[in-house]
Structure 1
Amino acid sequence: MFYLCSMSSLEHHIPAERRKGRAAASNDAGRFEPYARVPEHDGWDIPEDLPPIRTELREERATRIITRNRSPDISFDRSINPYRGCEHGCIYCFARPTHAYMGLSPAMDFETKLIVKPDAPERLAAELSRKSYKPAMIAIGTNTDPYQPVERDRGLMRDILHVLSDFNHPVGIVTKGTLIERDIDLLAPMAQRGLVRVGLSVTSLDAKLARKLEPRVPAPQRRLNTIKALSDAGIPVRVMIAPVIPALTDHELEKILAEAAQAGAVAASWIMLRLPLEVAPLFRDWLHRHYPDRMVRVMGHIRDMHGGSDYAADWGKRMRGQGPYAKLIGARFRAAQARLGLADRLDPLDITQFRVPPRPGDQLSLF
């Protein structure tokens, strides 16, 4: 049975046999919830085997699909997120706190209770068709991954790419998912027209560590193979070391860049581990369970870079942190980047080809 308690209660771990393939070990309520559901023995000594936690899908009908932002820390002003939540389950994911806005937990709910926007392609076509619309690159995958496992069945990202291709609209894609290879037949012609670029994230080359950090993400070598497949198809790829985790993955920085460059990546970037809101206690708990001997060192570096806190959201500082350690990582990255001939960013995409395709019944131009 369950009872309601105040949010000051300690977190309760979900039994390991129920959360195989998941990174979070708890499902504490989000920061806006006044109460939490906590398991409590009901007094009956009757064995009860609870089933493994399964992924659930809910549908959301969007009124708008293009999200605007004015952040000075990122290079785009609009994005699309076909899914809320992410089955990849990366324990460090900075998007976890967004689940709290829906009354769901940024912990296990974020990995298992996903929101799907089935009308995203139609809404996108409608928004791009407005006379007031001015084209600029649309970023996809900046919050949750558009190529997470559910995409294999739903195919929303593929339908969105069809729309963007029809409109000759530029798109930048960020993913850890190798399912993007499915869409090379769409992406390659778009790349030839200067309409697409891809950022593929590789956090670690250690398959065992990666499985603990990001349990449902394809293995590191598989992602390197995807960089090669995209590159061979003429699609420009940037390798993203995101995040760099102090005292856990930082020693792999140069090796990741070298392997990605050999696979065909032409640009590279890095982001330091970020622990906003509910992500901080989730990550600390993960460290305690998997790497207790490194917890003091990891969190010590993090706090040194954020003025003694687990995270500071200051513009211009939150992505990289401050202080000697952050400067050291930056210097190592720049040296390896220069040695391997990797650019800071990919070439700008072409917005001049944008056009609204004719619809059935439209009067066509004679010229």
Structure 2
Amino acid sequence: MERSREPVVHGRGAQSDAVPTRFGLATREADGDWRDHMEALDGLPVKLRTQVTEERPKSILSFNQSPDIFFDRSVNAYRGCEHGCVYCFARPTHAYHDLSPGLDFETRLFAKPDAARLLRETLAKSAYRPAPIAMGTNTDPYQPIERRYRITRAVLEVCLDARHPVTITTKSDRVLDDLDLLAEMARMDLVAVAISVTSLDPALSGKLEPRAASPAKRMAALGKLVQAGIPAHCSIAPVIPAITDEFMEGIVARAAELGVRSAGWIPLRLPHEVALLFREWLSVHFPERGDKVMSIVRSIRNGRDNDPAFFSRLRPTGVWADLFRARFRLACKRAGMEKGKFELDCSQFRAPDVGGQLRLL
């Protein structure tokens, strides 16, 4: 992989505004002041500005029938994610909006201010049957704009009122802003929180996930969740061969020191445009290592950049995959860590009050 001569887009994960081609979209040229980074100013690119559009969907609870994931329903308060993780498997979803999975995904965001109201109305339906709601499955519920919109908090308030169980996955210590709600839900076995830690190197994380919390902050957040009695899980996700896998043992050991008793790992996935964006990122930040990284990725994905099949997409194969699996098991054994599975309580569910009506006892 040759060294890229393109300038680094500082503060963002994607290095270009790659236009999706899966849906036959016309090629777009950079235009408008938000793309001013395309023009050099004294040799340095101008920082991109984040734009947020409010959308008003008719429903907020999404259901899936995927056989290889642990949840069947989810809430995503936002589309796109300012964290800018270059490897994010959710990036291709922006193509459905005629937006780029590249820089658009992390700069052209959508917020759903009505999420809590919509969820309350759904949970109040007589036919509804509870099962844990997953948050953070597509984009991070605690990305930077959550501090302004507080949509995730409003959703948690609905779930607490309805005694509805929730799982949360995030890369942000901003989850601690809702420690009061989470602690109360934890006392009723209604919540579990997973914090994803990719490396222990802040410089590397700054390139991979430029607007996510630093590794130290994420680790500290895990410790504070444990102290508050909230079930906490350390997710080493994704494990990137020859880039982040060296931190696997250290992350497990550090999490164990903080009292975290559950951990897991997820291999790198490169669906659709993510493969192109990740290769581009490698050419900018690790040009001398790019070929090796992609060779290992293909070796665990049956010779392809990505394996989209159920079950195998989350269970890589081959010598390298076996090595990562063995290393993780040994690290957990040394640290006294378990493979996490939290049992949340659905029996306390009660339909929420809608429209001022009294809840039936």
Question: What TM-score, normalized by structure 2, do the two folds share?
Answer: 0.92
The percentage of aligned residue pairs carrying the same residue is: 48
Q: Which has the larger radius of gyration?
A: 1
* Residue among 188, 202, 219 paired with 1:224: 219
Q: Does 1:164 align with 2:159?
A: yes
Indicate conservation of the 8 Å contact 1:13/1:25, yes or no: no
What is the deviation of 1:51? Answer: 4.8
Q: Which amino acid aligns with 2:27?
A: A
Q: What is the aligned partner in structure 2 of residue 107 from structure 1?
A: 102
Q: What is the aligned partner in structure 1 of residue 181 from structure 2?
A: 186
Q: What is the aligned partner in structure 1 of residue 26 from structure 2?
A: 35
RMSD after superposition: 1.9
Any idea what the Cα deviations from partners look like across 1:185-217, whole Å, max 9, x if unmatched?
000010000000001000000111110000001
Indicate conservation of the 8 Å contact 1:85/1:110, yes or no: yes
What is the deviation of 1:362? Answer: 3.1
Separation in structure 1 between the aligned mates of residue 230 and residue 280 of structure 2, nearest angstrom: 39
SS at match of 1:293: coil
Any idea what the Cα deviations from partners look like across 1:312-361, whole Å, max 9, x if unmatched?
11111112311111011111111211222222123210000000244565
Any idea what the Cα deviations from partners look like across 1:111-156, whole Å, max 9, x if unmatched?
0000111100000000000000000000000110000000010100
How many corresponding residue pairs? 347
Q: What is the aligned partner in structure 2 of residue 120 from structure 1?
A: 115
What is the deviation of 1:364? Answer: 6.2
SS at match of 2:265: strand
What is the deviation of 1:266? Answer: 1.4
Indicate conservation of the 8 Å contact 1:81/1:141, yes or no: yes
Separation in structure 2 between the aligned mates of residue 274 and residue 48 of structure 1, nearest angstrom: 33
Q: Looking at both structures, which has the greater relative contact order when contacts are Cα pairs under 8 Å and sequence separation is at least 6?
A: 2
Matches within 5 A, 1:223-242: 223-242=218-237
Q: Which amino acid aligns with 2:16?
A: S
Separation in structure 1 between the aligned mates of residue 52 and residue 6 of structure 2, nearest angstrom: 21
Indicate conservation of the 8 Å contact 2:135/2:166, yes or no: yes
Separation in structure 2 between the aligned mates of residue 288 and residue 78 of structure 1, nearest angstrom: 37
Q: What is the aligned partner in structure 2 of residue 297 from structure 1?
A: 292
Separation in structure 2 between the aligned mates of residue 190 and residue 78 of structure 1, nearest angstrom: 19
Distance 1:218 1:48, change over 3 A: closer
SS at match of 1:135: coil
Separation in structure 1 between the aligned mates of residue 112 and residue 102 of structure 2, nearest angstrom: 21
Q: Which amino acid aligns with 2:105?
A: F
SS at match of 1:114: strand
Separation in structure 1 between the aligned mates of residue 69 and residue 114 of structure 2, nearest angstrom: 27
Distance 1:311 1:363, change over 3 A: closer
Question: What TM-score, normalized by structure 1, do the two folds share?
Answer: 0.90
Indicate conservation of the 8 Å contact 1:236/1:346, yes or no: no
Indicate conservation of the 8 Å contact 2:92/2:274, yes or no: yes
Q: Which amino acid aligns with 2:250?
A: K
Indicate conservation of the 8 Å contact 1:94/1:279, yes or no: yes
What is the deviation of 1:257? Answer: 0.4
Matches within 5 A, 1:1-367: 16=8, 19-31=9-21, 32-38=23-29, 49=41, 51-358=46-353, 362=357
Q: Which amino acid aligns with 1:35?
A: A
SS at match of 1:350: coil
Separation in structure 2 between the aligned mates of residue 82 and residue 39 of structure 1, nearest angstrom: 28
Structure 2 unaligned residues grouped into runs of 5+: 32-38
Indicate conservation of the 8 Å contact 1:237/1:264, yes or no: no
Which has the higher mean CA deviation after the structures are superposed, 168-177 or 262-271?
262-271
Indicate conservation of the 8 Å contact 2:124/2:353, yes or no: no
Any idea what the Cα deviations from partners look like across 1:33-70, whole Å, max 9, x if unmatched?
43212359xxxxxx985853100001111111010011
What is the deviation of 1:264? Answer: 2.2
